[in-house]
Every structure is written in C-alpha cells, then in structure tokens.
C-alpha cells in the first residue's frame, strides 16, 4: 500500500528507530580518495559509499555497480 512520504519517514524514524546520518567532513575526505570504477561515477552514490565505509555500516542498495567499491552491500 502506498502512503504519503511524510508518513513513511515518520514510521522509519519513530517506529523503526532509523537515524539520520549527516554528511560530515570525514565522509567527504573519503569521497575524495575513492577510486572511479569503470562505468560508475555517480556523485551521490559515491557519497553513500563513503559514509558506509567510514561508519562501518552496510549500504542498502540493489545497484551491483557499487560492489566495485568493496562496500558491504545488502539487497
């Protein structure tokens, strides 16, 4: 069942305990040194990869191109 985004966000934060991960300087430092695998240069994806690597958390994505970054990818 589709629901308004605001309801989905409220459920994620309040019911399921998701946390908002802000972009911090240590994340941007990691982005700057990430390699550019062939065929993948999406800047937002690279930021998500950097955050996951720095924080030591898995990245939830169905995009197999992210495997080139050797990040722990779920899905």
| Residue 32 belongs to some domain of the structure | yes
| Total number of domains constituting the chain | 1
Per-block mean pLDDT, blocks of 10 residues, the chain (75 long): 92 95 98 92 95 97 94 95
| Residue 33 belongs to some domain of the structure | yes
| Residue 59 belongs to some domain of the structure | yes
The pLDDT of residue 54: 98
Domain that holds residue 66: 23-74
| Residue 30 belongs to some domain of the structure | yes
Q: Are 27 and 51 in contact (CB under 8 A)?
A: yes
| Residue 18 belongs to some domain of the structure | no
CA distance 37 to 50: 14
The gap between the terminal CA atoms of the chain, to the nearest Å, is 21
| Residue 63 belongs to some domain of the structure | yes
CA distance 71 to 54: 10
């Amino acid at each position: 069942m589709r629901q308004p985004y605001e309801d989905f966000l409220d459920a994620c934060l309040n019911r399921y305990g998701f946390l908002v991960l802000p972009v911090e300087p240590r994340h941007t430092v990691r982005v700057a040194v990430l390699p550019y695998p062939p065929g993948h240069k999406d800047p937002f994806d690279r930021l998500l990869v950097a955050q996951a690597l720095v924080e030591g958390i898995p990245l939830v994505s169905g995009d197999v191109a992210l495997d080139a970054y050797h990040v722990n990818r779920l899905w």
